[in-house]
């Protein structure tokens, strides 16, 4: 069995965290990692016990929702709350951090930012990362499947193809079926 890479593993965690977001504008997840271990996670949403954008709407001032705490900040604050050091850690974020989160990441001592998607990448944030020696790496998206019956489905399709071959089906058609099967189940 092929395993997903560490980058894909931690980025998948961030995408999972983003599903908890209460922001109606953009769902973001962040995972802080040190020594290949998850030390914190966060998603963008309101303060604990506060009204959420999904319930009350966004509270927008100067084109920014002030009701929301960003995913990166929530993850960093989780570390602060529980006394977990962030120095020399890495952070995996579904979207490139905003300028304020760039500054918080630098101050937290995080050394590498892995992100899945560009999102209004602020030139000054990029400059600050460079000056602080914070490395940024875009992680190409790979689909992660949680289908427990994947192997059973593959075997079923392979059996069908085998039966069609035995029945004398056209070789070009069979080749096409096999290519489609391989594409469907590629890792």
Report pLDDT digits (tens) over 49-103: 999 999 999 899 998 889 999 999 999 999 999 999 999 999 999 999 999 999 9
93 neighbors 72 (Cβ within 8 angstroms): yes
CB atoms within 10 A of CB 174: 15
The dihedral sign for the CA sequence 48, 110, 41, 13: positive
The confidence score (pLDDT) of residue 156 equals: 83
The confidence score (pLDDT) of residue 45 equals: 93
Residue that wins the pLDDT comparison between 64 and 124: 124
Percentage of the chain lying above the pLDDT 90 cut:
66
CB atoms within 10 A of CB 93: 29
Look up 72 and say whether it is catalytic: yes
Q: Which two tokens mark 138?
A: 């875009």
The confidence score (pLDDT) of residue 166 equals: 85
The confidence score (pLDDT) of residue 80 equals: 97
d(CA 92, CA 28): 11
Catalytic residue among 51, 56, 72, 142: 72
Average pLDDT of the segment spanning 139-147: 71
Contacts of 84 (CB under 8 A, 6+ apart): 39, 40, 78
Residue that wins the pLDDT comparison between 30 and 3: 30
The confidence score (pLDDT) of residue 116 equals: 96
* Rg of the chain over all Cα atoms, to the nearest angstrom: 22
> pLDDT tens-digit profile of 144-171?
656 677 778 877 888 888 888 888 888 8
């Amino acid at each position: 069995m092929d395993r997903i890479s560490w980058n894909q593993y931690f980025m998948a965690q961030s995408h999972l965290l983003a599903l908890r977001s209460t922001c109606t504008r953009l769902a973001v997840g962040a995972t802080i990692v040190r020594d290949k271990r998850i030390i914190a996670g966060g998603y963008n949403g309101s303060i604990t016990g506060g009204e959420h954008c999904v319930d009350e709407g966004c509270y927008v001032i100067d084109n920014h929702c002030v009701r929301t705490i960003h995913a990166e900040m929530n993850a960093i604050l989780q570390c602060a709350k529980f006394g977990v050091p962030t120095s020399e850690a890495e952070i995996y974020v579904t979207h490139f951090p905003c300028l304020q989160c760039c500054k918080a990441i630098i101050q937290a001592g995080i050394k590498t930012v892995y992100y899945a998607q560009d999102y209004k990448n602020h030139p000054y944030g990029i400059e600050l990362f460079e000056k602080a020696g914070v490395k940024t790496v875009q992680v190409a998206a790979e689909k992660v499947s949680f289908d427990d019956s994947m192997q059973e489905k593959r075997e079923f399709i392979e059996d069908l193809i085998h039966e069609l071959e035995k029945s004398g089906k056209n070789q070009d058609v069979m080749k096409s079926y096999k290519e489609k099967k391989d594409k469907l189940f590629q890792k």
